[in-house]
Amino acid sequence: MKKQIKEFTGAILVQLQPEKAKSLIKKGISFNVGNELNLNERLMRAALLKQAEKNKDFNLLANYHKNFWEQTGRKYFSEKESVLNNFFLPHCLPVFEMLKKLLKDSPEEYHTMVEIGTGSGEVLEYLSRQFPQIEKFIGIDLSADQIEFNTKKYQQYPNIDFVVADGAEWIRENGTDNIIVFTSGGVLEYFTQQQLKHLFNYLNLLKNTIFIAIEPIGVDVDFTKNPNSQPYGIERSFSHNYTQLFEDTGFSLWYQSVIEGVQKEADFGVFGAINL
C-alpha cells in the first residue's frame, strides 16, 4: 500500500508540474547523484520510470538512461569510488586471464580493444598494460565532460583514445575485423533488447570479433519463465538474457560465470563470446 501511495503521488506531481518533469527527464533520472533530488522530485522520478515500464515503452526508458549518462556521467564518476580497485580487480580478472590464453592460442592477431561505457577510463588503462600485443585501446562514453577529463588524465598513453559517442553507433561506423569489445560493471543494461540484437548482429558480420560483457542480472529475474529482457531495480534498467542473445546472433560463449554479493538487487553475469 505504501508503495502504491508513493507511485500515485509521484504521478499526480508529474501532472501538476510538467515543466519540472521535463527538467528531470532532460537531466537524467537513472540515479539521485549526491542526493540532489528532494522528496517530490524522487517521487516524480519513480513515477516516470514506472509509467514507461507499465506502457512497455522500453525505448523511452533507454532514453531516460541515455540522458542521465550524457548529462550527469562526469558528476557520477567524480563521486564514485574506484571501479578498478573496488569491483574490477577483486571480481573480473578471471575472464581476462582466459582471454590471454585465447589470444595466445589464436592464429588471428587482434589489434584493437574497445570499451563501451568507459567511465573513468581506469579499467581501460589497466588492460592496456595487461595486453601489450594489442595496438590500440578506445574508450567510448556518452559524457563529453568525462571524455575530456580522461583525455587529459591519460595523455601520456599514445595507444589509448577516448571518444564521445554512443557505443553502438560508433562500432557500426568504425568497427573492423579482429577487435575485442568489452563492458565492465553495467553498460549494456541501458540498451534495449532490440538495440543489443542490432549491435551483436552487426558485430557478427565482422570477422574474429570477441565480446566480453560484465553486466548485472536482477536477482528476481528468472529467464526460464520469461526469456526476454526485463527491467529491474531502482533504475529500471534492463536484465538481459545474454546467453540467448549471443547465441541468437551467431556468437559462441567461451566463458561464463556469476559474481554474487556485490549488489543487493543484482548479481553480475560475466560472458565471453566469439563469432566463428
The residue among 72, 100, 118 that closes a domain is 72
Domain assignment present for 77: no
Domain range for 40 is 2-72
Residue 120 has pLDDT above 90, yes or no: yes
Amino acid at 239: S
Percent of the chain exceeding pLDDT 70 equals: 99
β-sheet bridge partners, residue 115: 139, 182
Q: Which of 253, 259, 196, 254 is CA-nearest to residue 228?
A: 196
Query: Cα-flanking dihedrals φ and ψ of residue 141, to 5°?
Result: -150, 155
Amino acid at 217: I
Per residue in 46-71, pLDDT (tens digit) is: 889 989 999 999 999 999 999 999 99
191: exposed, middle or buried (Cβ count in 10 Å: 0-12, 13-18, 19+): buried
> The domain that contains 229 carries what CATH number?
3.40.50.150
When pLDDT is averaged across residues 66-93 and rounded to a whole number, the result is 92
- Average pLDDT for the chain: 93
253: exposed, middle or buried (Cβ count in 10 Å: 0-12, 13-18, 19+): middle
Domain count, the chain: 2
Query: Cα-flanking dihedrals φ and ψ of residue 263, to 5°?
Result: -125, 150
pLDDT band at 34; cut points 50, 70, 90: low
